[in-house]
Amino acid sequence: MRYGRGSLLKPELLAVLNAEATRLRVEPVNERMWRDWIEEDLIKEPNPKGVRRGINPLWEYPASTTERALAILKFKADGVKKFSALRLQLWLHGHDVPPTRIEVDLESEFGRLLKKHFFRNPWTYDARDPNTDAPEKIKRHKHKLQPGDPTLDAAGLTVSDESLLALGSKFFLGPDSKTDAFEVLVTELSQFVTKLSQFEIPRGTRRRSSPW
């Protein structure tokens, strides 16, 4: 939704936003929230109009502020709550956000996702450990692996548990002098491509799009 009404005063702008907030079933925008949005660089400060001695200026917001604020409400309706995540969403959708904010927010959100998705089940297999070759120890680590992606499995791109362990160790803990994890993975995928090339696709068979 775009507005072509030009600049707006805050009461007019809040009325438009709260009508949309009601439609989206999100928290209405009050004075405190609006100040927070400005302080957090979600919304730019208004421009003074009619600056004359002895007369208070009118503080107007450019028309682009309406579209930007409506986007914030939509992100909130989609479940985005943190200021850092809201700024990143604005940035990803083409809105201007200070570069220093983006740098900090990217680090913050990446760290949060790591804690949420990885640290609940921390990685423990270390290919650099000289004792990791013990069969029972390897077996225990294999049981901790998450199931493979069903799309890749259906395509026959099933990577061995050994390769997954080697890759995970490299990503989380650093390189291993004994095994080149990427070389192992490339070898397995190359074997798959070789097998695939041995099958001739019958004429008239409809090809499906690649899962990649």
Tell me phi and psi for residue 115, to 5 degrees.
-65, -40
- Indicate the helix (H) or strand (E) that contains 25: none
What pLDDT, on the 0 to 100 scale, is given for residue 96?
Answer: 93
At residue 198 the predicted structure's pLDDT band, cuts being 50, 70 and 90, is: low
Give per-residue pLDDT as tens, 40-52: 999 999 878 766 6
For residues 137 and 148, which has the higher predicted lDDT (pLDDT)?
137
At residue 124 the predicted structure's pLDDT band, cuts being 50, 70 and 90, is: confident
Q: What's the average model confidence in pLDDT over 64-68?
A: 93
CA–CA distance from 32 to each of 8, 36, 58 (Å)? 19, 6, 20
Q: What's the average model confidence in pLDDT over 167-190?
A: 65
In sequence order, what DSSP letters do the residues of 147-194 get, joined into one string? PPPHHHHHTT----HHHHHHHHHHHHH---SS--HHHHHHHHHHHHHH
If you ran DSSP here, which 8-state letter would residue 86 be given? H
Whether 65 contacts 43, CB under 8 Å:
yes
What pLDDT, on the 0 to 100 scale, is given for residue 30?
Answer: 96
Q: 3-class DSSP state for residue 48?
A: strand
For residues 160 and 52, which has the higher predicted lDDT (pLDDT)?
160
**Is pLDDT at 81 greater than 60 in this prediction?**
yes
Across all residues in the chain, what is the average pLDDT? 76
Q: What's the average model confidence in pLDDT over 160-188?
A: 68
Cβ within 8 Å of residue 73, ≥6 positions away: 17, 20, 21, 24, 26, 29
Q: What's the average model confidence in pLDDT over 142-158?
A: 65
What pLDDT, on the 0 to 100 scale, is given for residue 106?
Answer: 87
